[in-house]
Chain A
Amino acid sequence: MHTELPLFPTQASAMSTQVDALYFYLVAVSAFFSLLIAVLVIVFAIRYRRRSHDEVPESIHGSLTLELLWTIIPFLITLTFFAWGARIYFRMNRPPNDAMQIYVVGKQWMWKIQHLDGVREINELHVPVGQSVRLTMTSEDVIHSFFIPAFRMKRDVVPGRYSTAWFRATKPGDFHIFCSQYCGTKHSGMIGTVHVMEPPAFEAWLSGGSGSESLASSGAKLFVQHACNTCHRSDSLARGPNLEGLFGKPVRLQNGQTVVADEQYIRESILMPQAKLVEGFQPIMPTFQGLISEEGLLELVAYIKSLSPPPGAAPASAPNTIGPAVKTSSPEREAPK
């Protein structure tokens, strides 16, 4: 039997100290009120113990002052929980702009992880210490949940949509990844390890990845393979919207609405092209549901993202030719940013 008895999880991310501070505040308040009630119950029970069978204590019907006090004071205390908790929650939901992108696909019962430069891992995640990491996640089958206790990070991974989470590891070491949403027989086997490494060690590990090509270039290949380029092009023959510079921009739809072309929108437009039709185009695109895997979709997303270089950055992404980029037969491998 294992006899070590750890009572508190490691703090290994920037968020963990913030969550723990709030947790300790909650523990302190809870301990205070639990003890208060327990002590009062015990003291009353002993002090006012029934001494004769016919005693009838004086009746006290209540006190409005007390009722108001023990309604308002707890209420104000809970508002502090709310405000503090909400602040942290906002931070959890706002990945920093400089975050490194990693893609995660959950399936029964494993985690498939893709780095931008094409390195793939299963049930393991290597990240550099001190660098914010943004995870874009989806599932191939049922709902999973990506949970790293040491980072106080958890997010459901839902089929049919992308969910995002982020963390910044602050401590090198190996920590658990759990699936925390019940997903079937080997739910408890859907675990992994996150390896937090010093940046040089991480670079070394990354470049040791066996000559795989970047996600964006795999996406570019898929783009040609599925003949997307016959319609989505920048010249006059285009029958579909031009995808250059599209990512992150607002798109005007046929029904007059405007949506932002994010990862979710691109995914949906591949699988359900008619759902949000761009203004000025015919509903001629067939669905690719069932034809492209979740990982393939992520590659296409990465490719389309690469057609819109982040503002200020050099237009370095994916296929070097801008234009009907799909002609590029062998895109070069790029360094991770």
Chain B
Amino acid sequence: MAAAEYIEPVASPPRENYLNVKYGVKSWLLTRDHKRIALLYLASITFFFFLGGLFALLIRLELLTPAGDLVQAETYNKLFTMHGLVMIFFFLIPSIPAVLGNFLIPMMIGAKDLAFPRLNLLSWYIYVVGALFTLWAVVHGGVDTGWTFYTPYSTASSNGHVIATAVGVFITGFSSILTGLNFIVTIHTMRAPGLTWFRLPLFVWSHYATSLIMVLGTPVLAVTIFMVAVERIFRLGIFDPALGGDPILFQHLFWFYSHPAVYIMILPAMGVISEIVSTFSRKSIFGYKFVAFASVAIAVLGFLVWGHHMFVSGQSVYAGLIFSVLSFFVAIPSAVKVFNWTATMYRGSISWRTPMLYAFGFIGLFTIGGLTGLFLATLGVDVHVHDTYFIIAHFHYIMVGGAIMGYLGGMHYWWPKISGKLYPEGLAKFAALVIFVGFNLTFFPQFILGYMGMPRRYHAYPPEFQVLNVMSTAGASILGIGYILPMAYFIWSMRYGRNAPANPWGATGLEWQTPSPPPTENFIVPPVVDRDPYIYSPEVETIG
């Protein structure tokens, strides 16, 4: 409870903020400030994003030609495995929650920090330890099970570093559990006076729903991965039919977490989009309560649909029917959100700044991703497209077109708050356009490839699939350039960017009512809330 170092009054020198309050490596690595921890996460996930991207680039290069000529089959299998593992567990799952959520939730609810600051720092260290195990596995030859670890391949057949990777994923899972726990407790107990549940920004609602999934789903993944590792170490037969076990049980347990995990990745992005669409339309979100409850509905229903990953695995026809109809249920709240965002723009005052461009992209791409998800919930069609490039295209529309667009939109939107600097608007718009074009060129052809029947995880493929694969690879290189640009100009702006005012966009959230960058304790005067969210007043945008 030695909190003395934090109690220094922060108001006296006006320019003091969370970034310059202290310097030195130790002041970062031992910080308990949620904003600094968010930046620690930002650095780590950016590293993993580009590592995962490098794997993706090599995959796309291999698929330029039908023959398996660039890398060996074994290497290729490791590449797509590591791409999936790194992107899902070390980038997408922590991305928006651990960076933007960590930074913003306390500020949005008018608190000084998360409920458990030390636990928050511990979460980051756990993430790093898990990441180191996984990196160790990468450096020492990788792992080739696919990110899904399907048994009995992973336990009895694969000769990669399954155990090190499993330990890495297992450990990182606890980072996610603790982050979710911290968010739930914070949102319940630390809201500013007057900040009732229906005055919360939708970003907070979506993070609340995300945290529920993290807390309820991740332990099941952890114990499943634990069983895989134990089975491999001791040669047990929990999932190995040769020893009496049931490999399908693994799939049930795995997807019980991993399907909701998809919503861990997309719900926070939906929260970001709600904020952006409202701010840049200068209008209150159409159907606030419906959007808020849609997040919770997605979190709850998300736990009931895992069996749609197993329509061809041999589960009973009736189980298939139930999982199919439940999967359609979970599509409805997502549709409700899309309609409400669109309706929010109606008769708005719409600004075309970069974050809003990402929101436009998100709405379009998420719609396509969501609708193609219906193909997979439809029993008769899923049998054909299951495990083909159709799935790859579908979830990249959700994860890249949805989650990453949301993440980048959010990074641009809150960058002035985080760094106290403005990013270069023209260049940022150009980058958003490049990313949008590159993304569609990469992934749209994969829908066609999938329906044609090209299976996923293929190192070599029949020649008639080549033209579409070449398009996809070309798109991927454009996309790669698109992703390097924001990193470059964000870093550039930290030194050369114009100083940001407290509220550059004329937005309404509490986070905009404190200087940019904020002081360590977030607010100079603890805020009191007396009105609903998203009520815009005729203040001008403070940047021209």
Contact = CB atoms under 8 A, between A and B. Distances in A.
A–B touch (CB < 8 A): the answer is yes
B21 interface: no
B243 to A, nearest CB: 10
A151 B536 CA distance: 57
A44 B345 contact: yes
A89 B317 contact: yes
A37 B470 CA distance: 29
Nearest to B371: A30
Interface residues of A, number: 91
Given A22-B380, A34-B367, A143 B152 contact: yes
B122 interface: no
A194 B380 CA distance: 22
Given A44-B350, A53-B541, A85-B379, A185 B73 contact: yes
B367 A176 contact: no
Contacts of B241: 158-161
A81 B374 CA distance: 8
B47 interface: no
A337 interface: no
Contacts of A181: 150, 387
B328 A57 contact: no
A159 B242 contact: yes
A199 B375 CA distance: 36
Interface in B146-162: 146, 148, 150, 152-153, 156-158
A78 B311 CA distance: 18
A41 interface: yes
A229 to B, nearest CB: 27
Contacts of A51: 349
A158 B351 CA distance: 55
Interface string B211-230: 00000000000000000000
Contact of A78 (B283, B332, B346): B332
Given A4-B467, A82-B325, A154 B282 contact: no
A156 B314 contact: yes
Given A50-B351, A61-B284, A147 B455 contact: yes
B128 interface: no
B284 A145 contact: no
B53 interface: no
Nearest to B467: A5
A207 B338 CA distance: 61
Tier of interface size on chain B = 35 or more
Interface stretch (B103-111, B285-293, B472-480): B285-293
B384 A152 contact: yes
Contact of B157 (A54, A108, A186): A108
A7 B68 CA distance: 23
Contacts, number: 296
B347 interface: yes
A57 B68 contact: no
Contacts of A143: 150, 152-153, 247, 313
A61 B288 contact: yes
Nearest to A33: B371
Nearest to B316: A93
Given A37-B338, A62-B287, A89-B320, A44 B453 contact: no
A74 B332 contact: yes
B253 to A, nearest CB: 15
Contacts of B347: 48, 57-58, 60
A71 interface: yes
A55 interface: yes
Contacts of A59: 283-284, 535-536
A142 B153 contact: yes
Which of A34, A40, A79, A81 gathers most chain B CB within 10 Å? A81
B312 A154 contact: yes
A30 to B, nearest CB: 4
B328 A183 contact: no
A75 interface: yes
Contacts of A67: 287, 290, 336, 340
Contacts of A18: 380
6 contacts: A8-B451, A8-B452, A23-B375, A23-B451, A62-B289, A187-B457
The 3 A-B pairs with the shortest beta carbon distances in the complex, nearest first, are A149-B453, A160-B241, A88-B380
